[in-house]
Amino acid sequence: MNIKTNLVKSIGFAGVVSALTAAYAFQPAKTEPVYVMAPFKLDEINVKAEQATLLTENDEYALEVKYVADVYPDGNGVGHNWIDVEVKEIKDIRVYSEDGEIQAYVDRLDVVEIKEIIEQELRERI
């Protein structure tokens, strides 16, 4: 009777171990973040929603950027006045490939370039 009990326990243990191994094997692999680098080009911008879509130069990745912009009158004090734009904050950057949203790293210098592209487009539209 003792041999039968030990045999059942060892078979049960082997079943649990193989089930856990199979569950681990079928988990999706954790991918490293992709480095997305400049140059970028503007695809579209929604001024009211403060959202812009930029593409990498080779159109491999699309960046969806949410920002906060400030539009204000500016002048030089001698009668020349104009309206200027400043992007105060980049709130969120989401990166998409053809497979959907991906984990990506965007360098701070590239974020500065994204800010400048958005500001330039906003200046042209106002």
Render pLDDT for 48-58 as a digit per residue (tens, 0 to 9).
Answer: 999 999 999 99
> Rounded to whole angstroms, how far apart are CA atoms 81 and 29?
56
> Residues 90, 15: contact at Cβ < 8 Å?
no
Given the DSSP bridges, would you call strands 40-46 and 34-36 parallel, antiparallel or unpaired?
Answer: unpaired
- What are 17-60's pLDDT values in tens digits? 454 455 455 555 557 888 998 899 999 999 999 999 999 999 99
Residues in the chain: 126
Q: What is the pLDDT of residues 59-114, one digit of tens each?
A: 999 999 999 999 888 877 777 777 889 999 999 999 999 999 999 999 999 999 99
